[in-house]
Amino acid sequence: RACTKAHKLNLIGLKNYMKYLKKADKSAESNVLEAQKVVHDMLANIDKNGEQAVRDYAEKLDSWTGDILLSAAEIDEITADVPQDVKDDIDFACQQVYTFAKAQRDSIEEFHTKNNGVEAGQRLLPVNVAGCYVPTGRYAHIASAYMSIATAKAAGVPCIIACSTPYKGKSIHPYVLYAMKTAGADHVMTLGGVQAIASMAYGLFTGKKADIIVGPGNKFVAEAKRTLFGEVGIDVFAGPSEVAVIADEDADADVVAIDLVGQMEHGHESPGWLFTTSEALAEKVMDLIPEYIEKLPPTAQDAAFCAWRDYGEVIVCDSDEEVVKISDEYAAEHLEVQCKDLDWWLENLTCYGSLFLGEETTVTFGDKASGPNHILPTKAAGRYSGGLSAHKFLKVLTWQRMDRESTRQVAQASSRISRLEGMEGHARASDIRLSKYFPEETFDLGAPVLE
């Protein structure tokens, strides 16, 4: 077997309602310090030396010395030989994602209210420039192109910059580039890794600084986004891809096992977790996973083997309620439920990146073509954040307007509250309007701040 079962353990602090049949040897934070040091040094160099530093990294790390910014003619040339059936699949998936994202955009509206003479409202404006990173390393992530770019387009972003790594010594993978073009990228750069994130953040090669940078990537890309957060917006704090499956005694062990293995092929650090009330099912799934891993092609087999060995976990609980509690603590990026009464699980689960209800759907569908976005929070960030959506590209901006009469009540309350807080300058900004608009009246404005 690829992995020997760990000793059955009770989770500290959660009494005796659950036990591990398999416990991970590593966590998502195992290699963070290494990435932080590398990213810090690279960003400092690029900040100082600009485009030349980026070109140096592109040559050193990706053996790329060609054009960084692709022209429309170059894009057409590279994508000219993409087969029509491939174009058709990409077109279909891109439209699925765009349609869902447009519905998200339309689900939130501008409005205005009037209360005690104060007219106030909300505007929805897209960011001006979005940077979309599309990884191409172990695999050509075609879907990541339209997941980010089509969503930004649906939100109304006027300028979208896309980056992806050179593929096998050439420019961007033709299928990835076609997906970028179809989704609506305005500028495309042949760049990967930290140097791509920095170039979008600093406006290198395009002259346009990204207001937000989105898209999945390895630990160095994730760390670059985290380091630059504040200088630019980002979608989510992301790490290696995660999958969890909740299954009961009636679930198909083969389907559960292949769904776990299918996601663990993402990389050596991509965990697969099983939460179940059936120890018999858990045992069967654990027997099947090594078999399915062995049947994968070499690249995927290597990744899935290490992911299962180092990060895989199997937890057995006594009740559905306990499964919910454990699942919400893990807040998995992708969460599948293969159980009876799917509506109950939909109602009770609260922390996840995206939820897949029933055997008929799977993370693969969400990753590639069903519509909801696959750029999702990891490392338990699903406790406080959702995944990439049209809303991520929108600024919810408020405005207000008042006539002179409506300032009477608001200004008095503002003066008094400001002085209670000790903020005399704030209070005087209210006072001056009262004295200007109502010179014949006297108001109780609170005791002046003397210290």
Whole-angstrom Cα distance, residue 443 to residue 164?
Answer: 64
**Please, are residues 147 and 112 in contact by the beta-carbon 8 Å criterion?**
no
Q: Are 380 and 350 in contact (CB under 8 A)?
A: no
| 243-247 and 272-276 strand pairing | parallel
Position of tokens 């009469």?
405
CA pair distance 435, 451, nearest whole angstrom: 24
Question: Residue 315: exposed, middle, or buried by beta-carbon count in 10 A (0-12, 13-18, 19+)?
Answer: buried
- The residues annotated with a catalytic role in the active site are 333-334
69 within 8 A of 189, measured Cβ to Cβ: yes
- What are the distances in angstroms from CA 355 to CA 153, 201, 265, 333, 370? 24, 32, 20, 9, 13
The token pair at 192 is 């990967």
**Whole-Å CA distances, 197 to 49, 187, 194, 322, 360:** 15, 14, 5, 41, 37
Other CB atoms within 10 Å distance of the CB of residue 207: 7
